[in-house]
A and B are shown apart, each in its own frame.
Chain A
Amino acid sequence: MSDPVSPRVRPEKPAGVLYLGIDLGTSRTSVAASNGVRETVASYVGYPRDVIARKALKKDVLFGDEAVRNRLALDLLRPLQGGVIRHSDGDPNSADAQRHLKATRDLIRHAISLARPKADELIYAVVGCPARCSVKNKSAIVEAVRPVVDSVMIVSEPFTVAYGLERLSDCLVIDIGAGTTDLCRMHGTMPTEEDQLTNEFAGDHVDQQLLKLLQAKCTGAVVTIHTVKEIKEKYSFVGDARDPVHVELPVNGKPTRFEIGAEMRAACRTIVPPMVDAIHQLIASFDPDFQSRLKNNALLGGGGSQMSGLRDMLEAEMKERLGEGRVVRVDEPTYGGANGALKIAHDMPPEFWEKLS
């Protein structure tokens, strides 16, 4: 089976240095590069099930939306769960661990190939990982990336968002991904374990809740998790005031219209209480003299931050529980992590890269 890109051979006389910032997400993998290329791909990897499928698809491996579209002919893998490589916490030699590690490798190689690196340039990459990712998980990511770059570093995802926005002190980053919601308080030094919290009440959790609610509400309708994800990406909201949300789902093969506004709101709201608890916990345990600054400098990023009304709801909850609160949504939720990782890669002293190569 061919790889999307060949293992990297270090150029003898590099013509330049390509810095890459990679946000290896459960739902999407985004890459920002110092050649101006920015690309994002859904974190799905598919391998043709048999020779016939391979002949029809004319590919050994498919990625992203193309893999999802052809899923019936593929062994479809979503190699990341909760922001880390599936099964990477267990026995690394198990078949499942190896399968998902290979899929992650292929996905990263594909993401890097999307950045269209020149063969004769050095590639230095910073990869964002969940705030409280284990050493084993981080090692698995490093192992997956190393063969295709010249040097790689792993950095906590919410930290990359803050660094990219030059918000290194007195701010609280809330990064809502598909697998995890990561929170990190920034106070001018490297965040420690106590400064970061991760929970799995994130996009995938909303999908599961919405799936259950739609199965109960839409009698006879066939709903898959892929459909739910698409619906959520179009209509997600948490506020009270809303327009009706009409969707068409097949009932006995016939497209049938359903109004699912209440279900959508209920599912989206399930991630809010754990998020507010985490905000509360990080602020309450911080130096009292600086708590107010944190409360008024919350940065909301990640794909989940695009839920309509979420910013207002978080501010309202913070005012009620903490007395005050100001939340700002980052400009580019999809690329916030990758942009920050790219900035870190660029700023990192060259000798550090050399030592890790």
Chain B
Amino acid sequence: MTCVQNSFMSRLAGLFRSKSDLTTLRQLERAGVRSVNVLDLGRLEQLVGEAMESALREALSTGGSAELAAGGAQVEFLRRLGLHDRLADHGRELEAQSATLAGQRVELEGALRQSRAELDRRRQQEFTVARQRLQDALDALLGAAFDSLRTAASGSERLAAEVERQQPLLRSALLALLEQSLRTDAGEVAPAASGATAATAAHEAAERERLERRVRKLSAQLLETEELLARTRAAQAEAPGVPSVHRTPQGLAADAQDRTAKKSLLAAIFEHNLELRRTLAEPRPAAVAEQSPKTATPGADAR
């Protein structure tokens, strides 16, 4: 275990070195930097390890994906480093990603709804066509059967009248049975009876299945992105800033160097700012340009 850990740490150290930029002391001095904060590789490795451990624990307990674990580790790493700006940037990126995923899901759900409506419409049409075809066939069969019955009963008025009475009764009973049968096995009987091809139906079913899978996948991604976003926001909320070293208002120390001079300078600054505040409070006269103090400007005579 220790061996694996050491190997991981050395790979991590190598990775940090390969991704770092070299600068010189002279460049830093030119940028006005006199002191720098140093974060050694050991501390960085520790932070990465802690962030990964925390994120993996969370992902394993909720059955999240590898992407969720990686995203969680990133949030955790930024939180531990106290990089609140990066956390805020990350939060904005996740918000945008979440909005994109939600938009895509809405589009797909629309397509799926349309496909389902099309299926319903087509099934209704198939049902109507099938019913009509079967009804026509039934009428033809009944017509032929009752025609031969009429021929057989032509000698008896009573029998002939009974045949005429039974034909509509039998027709409506058979039609009711037909309707019930069509509705019960609508998915199989109606397409076959209406003449729709099995290939078309299978193709449409596959298309719907694809759409449903994509909606499920997007929903899962959206859920994870929203979870990451919530975690990022929580990390941001946990970072309310760096506290000041002062719990109460300060003021000039009793033993401050040049205390008297400083006291009068500070009073003068205050008076000047008080006057400035009074000026600000006064209503502004419209379009009265104040005379700017004289400032030497390139292009003008500076001497």
User: A residues touching B (Cβ–Cβ < 8 Å)?
Assistant: 15-19, 33-37, 40, 55, 58-59, 82, 89-92, 114-122, 124, 132-136, 138-139, 142-143, 153-155, 163, 166, 168-169, 180, 188-190, 193, 197-201, 205, 208, 233-234, 274, 277-278, 303, 306, 331-335, 344, 346-350, 352-353, 355-356
Q: Are A58 and B93 in contact (CB under 8 A)?
A: yes
* CB within 8 Å of A: which B279-303 residues: 279-280, 284, 287, 289-298, 302-303
Q: Are B265 and A189 in contact (CB under 8 A)?
A: yes
Could you write out 17 A-B pairs with CB less than 8 Å apart?
A: A15-B247, A19-B250, A35-B241, A91-B289, A115-B242, A117-B241, A124-B249, A139-B280, A154-B273, A154-B276, A199-B302, A274-B302, A334-B31, A344-B266, A347-B262, A355-B270, A356-B270
B30 at the interface (CB under 8 A from A): yes
B23 at the interface (CB under 8 A from A): no
* CB within 8 Å of A: which B241-289 residues: 241-253, 256-258, 261-262, 264-270, 272-274, 276-277, 279-280, 284, 287, 289
Max chain B C-beta neighbours (<10 A), residue from A59, A121, A208, A331: A121
Residues of chain A contacted by B27 (CB below 8 angstroms): 234
Q: Are B242 and A163 in contact (CB under 8 A)?
A: no
Q: Are A306 and B30 in contact (CB under 8 A)?
A: yes
Q: Are B256 and A135 in contact (CB under 8 A)?
A: no
Q: Are A349 and B243 in contact (CB under 8 A)?
A: no
Max chain A C-beta neighbours (<10 A), residue from B96, B239, B253, B269: B269
* Chain B: minimal CB distance from A195 (Å): 12
Q: Is the interface of A mostly helix, strand, loop or mixed?
A: mixed
Q: Are A332 and B277 in contact (CB under 8 A)?
A: no
Q: Are B243 and A118 in contact (CB under 8 A)?
A: yes
Residues of chain B contacted by A347 (CB below 8 angstroms): 250-253, 256, 262, 266
Assembled-state Cα–Cα distance A116/B86 (Å):
13
Residues of chain B contacted by A115 (CB below 8 angstroms): 242
Max chain A C-beta neighbours (<10 A), residue from B31, B243, B287: B243
B123 at the interface (CB under 8 A from A): no
Residues of chain B contacted by A189 (CB below 8 angstroms): 261, 264-265, 268
What's the interface size class on B, roughly? 35 or more
B92 at the interface (CB under 8 A from A): yes
Contact of A35 among B244, B267, B291, B297 (CB under 8 A): B244
Residues of chain B contacted by A200 (CB below 8 angstroms): 295-298
B34 at the interface (CB under 8 A from A): yes
Q: Are B276 and A348 in contact (CB under 8 A)?
A: no
Q: Are A16 and B32 in contact (CB under 8 A)?
A: no
CB-nearest residue of chain A to B85: A114
Q: Are A16 and B243 in contact (CB under 8 A)?
A: yes
Q: Are B274 and A234 in contact (CB under 8 A)?
A: no
Residues of chain B contacted by A205 (CB below 8 angstroms): 298
Assembled-state Cα–Cα distance A356/B257 (Å):
26
* Chain A: minimal CB distance from B20 (Å): 19
Residues of chain A contacted by B247 (CB below 8 angstroms): 15-17
CB-nearest residue of chain A to B297: A200
Q: Are A17 and B302 in contact (CB under 8 A)?
A: no
Q: Which 6 A-B pairs have the closest CB atoms?
A: A334-B32, A350-B249, A199-B296, A118-B241, A190-B268, A18-B244
Assembled-state Cα–Cα distance A133/B293 (Å):
7
Assembled-state Cα–Cα distance A142/B289 (Å):
19
Contact of A346 among B250, B257, B280 (CB under 8 A): B250
Assembled-state Cα–Cα distance A157/B262 (Å):
16
Given A16-B243, A37-B242, A142-B280, A91-B287 contact (CB < 8 Å) = yes
B240 at the interface (CB under 8 A from A): yes
Residues of chain A contacted by B30 (CB below 8 angstroms): 233-234, 306
* Chain A: minimal CB distance from B27 (Å): 8
Residues of chain A contacted by B268 (CB below 8 angstroms): 189-190
Assembled-state Cα–Cα distance A199/B267 (Å):
28
B150 at the interface (CB under 8 A from A): no
Q: Are A118 and B244 in contact (CB under 8 A)?
A: yes
CB-nearest residue of chain B to A303: B32
Contact bitstring B212-244, A, C-beta under 8 A = 1, else 0: 000000000000000000000000000111111
Assembled-state Cα–Cα distance A198/B187 (Å):
89
* Chain A: minimal CB distance from B296 (Å): 4
Residues of chain A contacted by B93 (CB below 8 angstroms): 58
Assembled-state Cα–Cα distance A346/B298 (Å):
37
* Chain B: minimal CB distance from A344 (Å): 7
Given A166-B257, A348-B269, A353-B245 contact (CB < 8 Å) = no
